[in-house]
Amino acid sequence: MDGALSPASRDKLELRVMANFNEQLIRIVEDYRAAGEPWPAKREQIAEWAVAHDRYQLTRGMAVSQCAEKISRAMGLEHVKDRKGRSVRKYYSARIRENGQLVMKWDDQNAERPFMEVSAANRRNLVLGQCWQLKQDMDSYSERHCPDKPIQIDFNFNIDLEELGQLPDVG
């Protein structure tokens, strides 16, 4: 054995490093609050405090990771007009299995259909996850603050989608 990690071991290590980094970031937020800084706060206020107090310094790996995140965000926000004048994404991401590992790949609006099917399924799962978390949050809030009249949320978006389809594209 040459000492290289298996793909599964690399994935687990990456998740541990990310969890550890997230824990460090949450610790910064908690320390910011404990220092009596303004709360609620904008993320920029917390970041400014963290940098000013030497609580946040980038390693090369962190810089690359943050750059990659910002590039992903920019690609995800880039829109073009299609032939019918609709605003559509220019770039699409999909989690693709490569050499036994799931990796995020990006392609543009001319991607092959299998890529777009995976991209659509990935995005649908993100929406589902956000809906599930919203339901959990509102159920918990309602149980604690208004159990006799809980906040109700309708997760059937069919009518909303129809109505949005009738609006002219703005932008």
pLDDT digits (tens, 9 = 90+) for 85-142: 999 999 999 999 989 999 999 999 999 999 999 999 999 999 999 999 999 999 999 9
Task: Give the structural domain span for 105.
Answer: 88-147
93 plus 141 within the same structural domain? yes
101 closest CA partner among 14, 18, 17, 20: 14
Count the domains in the chain: 2
Please tell me what DSSP assigns to residue 85.
S
Residue 2 lies in a domain: no
- What are the respective helix, strand and coil percentages of the chain, to the nearest 5? 55, 15, 30
Give the pLDDT band of residue 2 (cuts 50, 70, 90).
very low
Cβ atoms of residues 94 and 122 within 8 Å = yes
Domain annotation covers residue 83? no
Asked if residue 82 is part of any domain, the answer here is no
Does 158 map to a domain? no
**Within a domain: 61:** no
Residue 75 lies in a domain: no
Residue range 135-154, pLDDT digits in tens? 999 999 999 999 999 999 99
Radius of gyration of the CA atoms of the chain, in A: 21
Q: Taking 80 as the threshold, does the pLDDT of residue 70 lie above it?
A: yes
